[in-house]
């Protein structure tokens, strides 16, 4: 991994290139190689400085080898690995000659810990250059001195978000916080590194934080106060489900009490403990699933090529269409944005401009990147210029006849190999493609809102879609840096179909639970990113009602929406009431008055009334177990190819509790037989809860989803 020749003018140039991996990462062997290199530097008097650069484009060092970390056998092995890495990086920091890390691309986790052990750090302007400590996202903490060196370099206030949330910084943000000494064009990086090693840094490069930050970062009582507030925030946000951030705070407290070096011991012990925890195991599993999802399906006969996607069009300049167009243009894809008139297109461009201005203000992009993105956008109001387009993504109104008309026009306006994709969320792709010429090139690309933030994209294959269309769709998703999962075509596709019972059930629960907001509290306590009432509030009652009607039409009474939602819709139609379900925040949060009135009317007229027996456990069972039931149906019908796809999709697409690993991993944990028996008990009064044949079969055979035999996606 560490490649070098003889020193030139006393400077040793070390190229980091791990040939056995697609990216540079630290394994035990590479740490040992680094240790030996440092011995060589110490013993060789002719070496007056060392510059480290990456031999792989797009990454510096992405961190520890996660596969090796996962396979560590027990706490003792994990602790020793942490201590060994700390020792090697201490040896790097103790070198008497200057060292510089020339950072181009991802510098994450152990990679950043390595860079922080160097005397100097220079970064380039590459958009792929990101610096961060994302270990908490795997249920771990920085284990090679990160909790000690980062606060020392940039101060406690700026270090906390990076260590507690995995926040990433680009080169400019890193420079503003003092994490790197300068940001340069890539072609000038090595030359600047040589100059720094020879002459040190110019005085002007020294960063001086504001006075209040200097006081806060160096005054013990204030630091203790900051850590107390940080702990409260972590507990509030994670509800104690994720121990890693608390271990970071423990390390920082120990450093205040006993000196910085004590943080190393806390790190090593935390790595030993966290590495064996169920939370870390599930988060690592999701990480590996995300990595595996970057590869196309094994049965795909055409290989996706992200580099081949250079020309695209987006139909519909609303919030979703504008967001998708922005994603494409940012990746240097020539993108036409079309709507029915220039006013609509201009509104879409204004949306894009607003998003870019926010990113510019937050230093996520440079002015040059903003200009380049806008240069890749072409507003149009007709179908001209689409003959050579690789893919067209439709994101217009959810009306079947209008979509069919648009796709008929596209069939004439585009080339024979152009892939036609729909972003529909409530219609089936097969219905849109019905009667079209060349339906084999029509595919679904379901982005989740907002597309700039959500990682998941469902790639929907119809019975007509060919492998070439799937390959282009997959390549487009790859180009955008999203996670694409190929699913079969049905109402709701995969994610919304499994989510529908969860969202439906909240309507029934609202009629029964004495304290309605207890439903959301139960869901967030379980680990969901947000409760179902808040989710419905964000989606909007009108959209939720539209989706629910489609689901009911497709799947019958098990997807019938609660009468409460119909009642509330009727009341608001008459009164012109508001759109929100929840008012206020924090302790003042409550249901909107008309929601409370609708619930009261339902309780007065209905047979059920308030139930005092609905514990949080029962609420969770009624919300989550129907999701498991529907997921089993999706496997049975071949809508998803394997349980892992469902777990990953539900975590990325809906915020299902990551530390539980997804709905099917959770089902395995509590036992499928238990899930089936509980659903049967509910079904005595609620027929919608009846377990499907697949779930009964698995319960009878004492099977788990992790070893279930499943079908391939419908084709």
Q: Which one, of 449, 408, 445, 453, lies nearest residue 429 by Cα?
A: 445
β-strand 49-54 against 442-447: which pairing, if any?
A: unpaired
Phi and psi torsions of 86, nearest 5°: -60, -45
Q: What per-residue string of b and e applies to 161-179 under the rule 16 or more CB within 10 Å gives b?
A: ebbbbbbbbbbbbbbbbbb
Catalytic annotation present for 674: no
Q: What is the rounded CA–CA span in Å between residue 2 and residue 17? A: 7
Instruction: Write down the H helix ranges in 484-582.
Output: 495-512, 518-526, 532-539, 541-555, 563-575
Instruction: Write down the H helix ranges in 364-517.
Output: 367-375, 400-413, 429-433, 467-479, 495-512
Q: Which one, of 605, 346, 303, 641, lies nearest residue 470 by Cα?
A: 303
Q: What is the rounded CA–CA span in Å between residue 634 and residue 494? A: 7
Q: What is the rounded CA–CA span in Å between residue 689 and residue 692? A: 9
Q: Is 392 helix (H, G, I), strand (E, B) or coil?
A: strand
Q: Which one, of 54, 58, 189, lies nearest residue 127 by Cα?
A: 58
CA angle (573, 491, 487) in 5-degree steps: 140
Write out the DSSP string of 248-278: HHHHHHHHHHH-TTHHHHHHHHHHHHHTTSH
Edge-to-edge strands, sheet with 442-447: 377-380, 334-338, 311-315, 391-394, 419-422, 442-447, 456-461, 483-488
Instruction: Write down the H helix ranges in 118-261.
Output: 146-154, 156-165, 171-177, 189-199, 211-218, 220-238, 244-258
Question: H/E element holding 122?
Answer: strand 120-124
Q: What is the rounded CA–CA span in Å between residue 324 and residue 316? A: 10
β-strand 419-422 against 442-447: which pairing, if any?
A: parallel
Q: Is 528 helix (H, G, I), strand (E, B) or coil?
A: coil
> Cα-Cα-Cα-Cα dihedral of 671, 677, 683, 687, to 10°?
60
For 89, half-sphere exposure in the C-beta direction (CA atoms, 13 angstrom radius) is 24
Helices 74-93 and 28-43 sit at what angle, rounded to 10 degrees?
30
Q: Catalytic residue, from 446, 546, 552, 674: name it.
A: 446
Q: Which residues are catalytic?
A: 446
């Amino acid at each position: 991994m560490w490649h070098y020749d003889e020193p030139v003018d006393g400077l040793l140039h070390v190229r980091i290139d791990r040939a056995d991996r697609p990216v540079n990462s630290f394994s035990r062997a590479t740490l040992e190689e680094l240790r030996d290199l440092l011995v060589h530097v110490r013993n060789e008097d002719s070496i007056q400085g060392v510059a480290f650069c990456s031999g792989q484009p797009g990454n510096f060092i992405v961190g520890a080898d996660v596969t090796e970390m996962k396979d560590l056998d027990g706490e003792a092995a994990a602790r020793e690995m942490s201590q060994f890495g700390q020792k090697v990086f201490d040896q790097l920091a103790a070198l008497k000659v200057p060292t510089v890390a020339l950072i181009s691309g991802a510098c994450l986790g152990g990679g950043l810990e390595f860079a922080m052990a160097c005397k100097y750090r220079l970064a380039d302007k590459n958009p792929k250059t990101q610096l961060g400590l994302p270990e908490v996202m795997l249920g771990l903490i920085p284990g090679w001195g990160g909790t000690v060196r980062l606060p020392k370099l940039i101060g406690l206030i700026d270090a906390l978000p990076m260590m507690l949330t995995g926040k990433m910084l680009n080169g400019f943000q890193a420079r503003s916080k003092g994490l790197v000494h300068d940001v340069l064009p890539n072609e000038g990086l090595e030359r600047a590194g040589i100059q720094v090693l020879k002459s040190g840094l110019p005085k002007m490069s020294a960063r001086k934080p504001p006075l209040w930050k200097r006081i806060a970062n160096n005054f013990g009582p204030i630091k203790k106060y900051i850590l107390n507030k940080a702990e409260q925030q972590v507990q509030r946000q994670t509800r104690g489900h994720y121990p890693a951030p608390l271990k970071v705070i423990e390390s920082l407290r120990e450093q205040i009490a006993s000196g910085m070096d004590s943080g190393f011991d806390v790190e090593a012990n935390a790595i030993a403990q966290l590495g064996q925890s169920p939370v870390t195991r599930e988060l690592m599993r999701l990480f590996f699933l995300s990595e595996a999802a970057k590869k196309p399906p094994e049965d795909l006969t055409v290989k996706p090529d992200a580099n081949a996607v250079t020309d695209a069009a987006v139909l519909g300049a609303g919030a979703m269409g504008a967001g998708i167009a922005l994603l494409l243009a940012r990746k240097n894809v020539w993108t036409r944005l079309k709507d029915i008139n220039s006013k609509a297109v201009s509104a879409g461009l204004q949306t894009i401009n607003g998003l870019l201005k926010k990113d510019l203000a937050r230093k996520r992009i440079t002015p040059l990147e903003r200009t380049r993105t806008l240069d890749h956008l072409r507003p149009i109001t007709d179908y001209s210029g689409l003959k050579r387009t690789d893919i067209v993504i439709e994101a217009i109104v959810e009306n079947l006849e209008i979509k069919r008309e648009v796709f008929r026009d596209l069939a004439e306006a585009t080339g024979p190999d152009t892939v036609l994709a729909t972003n529909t969320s409530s219609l089936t792709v097969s219905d849109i493609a019905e009667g079209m010429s060349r339906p084999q090139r029509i595919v679904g690309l379901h982005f989740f809102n907002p597309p700039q933030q959500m990682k998941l994209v469902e790639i929907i294959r119809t019975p007509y879609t060919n492998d070439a269309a799937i390959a282009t769709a997959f390549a487009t998703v790859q180009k955008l840096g999203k996670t694409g999962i190929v699913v079969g075509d049905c109402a709701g596709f995969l994610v919304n179909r499994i989510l529908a019972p969860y969202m439906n059930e909240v309507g029934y629960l609202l009629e029964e639970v004495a304290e309605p907001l207890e439903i959301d509290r139960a869901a967030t306590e379980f680990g969901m990113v947000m409760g179902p009432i808040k989710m419905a509030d964000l989606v909007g009652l009108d959209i939720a009602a539209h989706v629910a009607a489609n689901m009911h039409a497709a799947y019958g009474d098990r997807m019938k929406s609660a009468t409460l939602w119909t009642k509330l819709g009727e009341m608001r139609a008459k009164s012109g009431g508001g759109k929100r379900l929840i008012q206020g925040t924090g302790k003042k949060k409550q249901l909107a008055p008309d929601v409370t009135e609708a619930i009261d009317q339902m309780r007065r007229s209905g047979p059920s009334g308030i139930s005092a027996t609905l514990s949080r456990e029962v609420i969770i069972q009624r919300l989550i177990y129907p999701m498991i039931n529907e997921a089993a149906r999706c496997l049975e019908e071949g809508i998803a190819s394997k349980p892992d796809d469902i777990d990953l999709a539900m975590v990325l697409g809906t915020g299902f509790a990551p530390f539980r690993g997804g709905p099917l991993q959770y089902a395995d944990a509590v036992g499928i037989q238990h899930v089936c028996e509980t659903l049967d008990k509910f079904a005595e009064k609620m027929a919608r809860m009846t377990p499907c044949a697949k779930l009964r079969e698995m319960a009878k055979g004492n099977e788990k989803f992790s070893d279930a035999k499943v079908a391939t996606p419908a084709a």
